[in-house]
Amino acid sequence: MLKAMKYRIYPNKRQIQRIEKHFGSTRFVYNYFLEYRQKEYAKGNKKVGYIVTQAELTKLKKLDEYVWLNECGSQSLQMALRDLDSAYGRFFKKQGGYPKFKSKKHKTQSFTAPQNIKVANNRVYFPKFVKDGIKVKLHREIPKEAILKQATISRQNNQYFISILIDDNISIPKPTKAKDAVGLDMGITDLVITSDGKKYENKKYFVKSQNILKKLQRRLSKKRKGSNNRQKAKLKVQRLHTKVSNQRKDYLHKISNEITNQYDIIVLETLNIRGMIKNRRLAKSIADVAWSEFMRQLEYKAQWRGKTVLKIDQWFPSSQICSSCGASTGKKPLNIRKFDCLHCGKKDIDRDINASINIKNYGLGQVDNRNTVGTIGS
């Protein structure tokens, strides 16, 4: 199985300068050849792909104007071209938007070293950083038999990280015989509601930090542009955002670990988060719960453990159907938190638990029809 393991690194001043050069160079190559491909497409040349841009990059590095590109790892520059080619591929397959130019002002900067990665003596070594290596905090041990495939070095709010892609030499487990299944309904009042009746609290990390964030941003706005004090104030704002993000991810990891360890089949809603976040009244709350990150964690952890994640149709009316008799009762406003069924007489059912049971039943119905997962037993 391929796994990515992310660690904090602590480069010295000289290494920081070299890392920043890599950020700038790979960003330049990406933007330069994005413009190059746009011009070629405008001319009617539709056959401009990775091979063509790689040849043009070799010519570009020989020009006196761009000789500084040779200070960075050549393979890292080529990876920028592969990233661009992948972005175009997703666009043509309608899996993403049109590629955008990268900005040096973005809070996250990164580059990739595709091979020759080594970790030893609490240091990580990769091309252009082979002599001394960079100090790394290994909070998780890399398996001895693992093959180090590539490394992505990034800066997030003045902190540096390395994400190492490893092949652990363990085959992806086959789906286990399913004994336990669960349906998950995701909300804002409660983050996750299971069909077993368990509710995971929405911690609202961003909302809780808003007052402190307002004070820090107010102080930042009063600092003179370009001054050291403004840079210090900006760093405090960035650190608070990083803290909130880390708190949220840590909480989601705990929930996703618990669910993927406990259940063999996990049934989820398919949410149009991009569309939902356009609601200005709920946008902040939806962004704070991070549904996309939670679903991403569930999917890759389920794969690691031989579990199955099913996503049901986003138009399935889970909140309108009675989980006892299956009758549809129509739409209800969000302020109504209890479900009453006029057909079978069930009353005061928790609205979210009722929806999660419907999600589970609908997902298991799909499994039975497609016969894609092991038999569900007691």
The answer as to whether 278 is a domain residue is yes
Residue 207 lies in a domain: yes
Mark whether 157 and 19 lie in a shared domain.
yes
Do 219 and 349 belong to one domain? yes
How many structural domains are present in the chain? Answer: 2
Q: Do residues 199 and 324 share a domain?
A: yes
Per-residue pLDDT at 378:
33
Residue 176 located in a structural domain:
no
What pLDDT is stored for residue 175 in this prediction?
Answer: 72
pLDDT (0 to 100) of residue 105: 86
Q: Which of 83, 85, 269, 288 is catalytic?
A: 269
- In the residue annotation, 313 being an active-site residue is answered as no
Annotated active-site residue 269? The verdict is yes
The answer to whether residues 192 and 129 belong to one domain is no
List the chain pLDDT tens, one digit each, 378 residues.
889 999 999 999 999 999 999 999 999 999 999 999 999 999 888 889 999 999 999 999 999 999 999 999 999 999 999 999 999 999 999 888 999 999 998 888 999 999 999 999 999 999 999 988 999 999 999 988 899 999 999 998 788 999 999 998 888 787 767 788 999 998 888 999 999 999 999 999 998 999 999 999 999 999 999 899 998 999 899 889 989 999 999 999 999 999 999 999 999 988 877 777 777 777 888 888 888 899 999 999 998 898 999 998 888 888 888 888 887 877 877 777 787 787 787 777 888 888 999 999 988 887 655 444 443 443
Compute the distance between CA of residue 250 and CA of residue 114 in angstroms, rounded to an integer. Answer: 28
**Assigned domain for 173 exists:** no
**One domain for residues 8 and 155:** yes
> What is the per-residue pLDDT for 375?
38
Report if residue 247 sits inside a domain: yes
| 28 and 163 fall within a common domain | yes
Catalytic residue among 85, 264, 288, 352: 352
Q: What gap in Å lies between CA 265 and CA 249, rounded to an integer?
A: 23
**Residue 338 to residue 105: CA distance in whole angstroms:** 47
The pLDDT of residue 367 is 63
Asked whether residue 175 is assigned to any structural domain, the reply reads no
Among candidates 354, 328, 353, which has minimal Cα distance to 343? Answer: 328
What's the rounded Cα separation, in Å, for the pair 351 and 97?
Answer: 36
pLDDT the model gives residue 368: 56
The residue count for the chain: 378
Q: Which long-range contacts (CB under 8 A, 24 or more apart) does 145-152 make?
A: 145/169, 148/117, 148/118, 148/119, 149/2, 149/114, 149/115, 149/117, 150/112, 150/113, 150/114, 150/115, 150/117, 151/112, 151/113, 151/117, 151/124, 151/126, 152/110, 152/111, 152/112, 152/113
Q: Is 85 a catalytic residue?
A: no
Does any domain span residue 131? yes
Residues 240 and 150 in one domain: no
Question: Among the three residues 142, 167, 192, which one is the final residue of a domain in this structure?
Answer: 167
**Rounded to an integer, what is the distance from CA 297 to the centroid of its chain?**
8
The alpha carbons of the chain give a radius of gyration, in whole angstroms, of 25
Q: Is residue 172 part of a domain?
A: no
Domain boundary among the residues 167, 193, 214 is at 167
Candidates 83, 185, 264, 288; catalytic one: 185
Do residues 162 and 241 both lie within one domain? no
pLDDT at site 297: 94
Run of H or E residues at 75: helix 74-92
202 with 278, same domain: the answer is yes
132 and 195 inside one domain: no
pLDDT value, residue 376 = 43
Same domain, 202 and 350: yes
Do 155 and 187 have their domain in common? no
Domain of 56, in residue numbers: 2-167
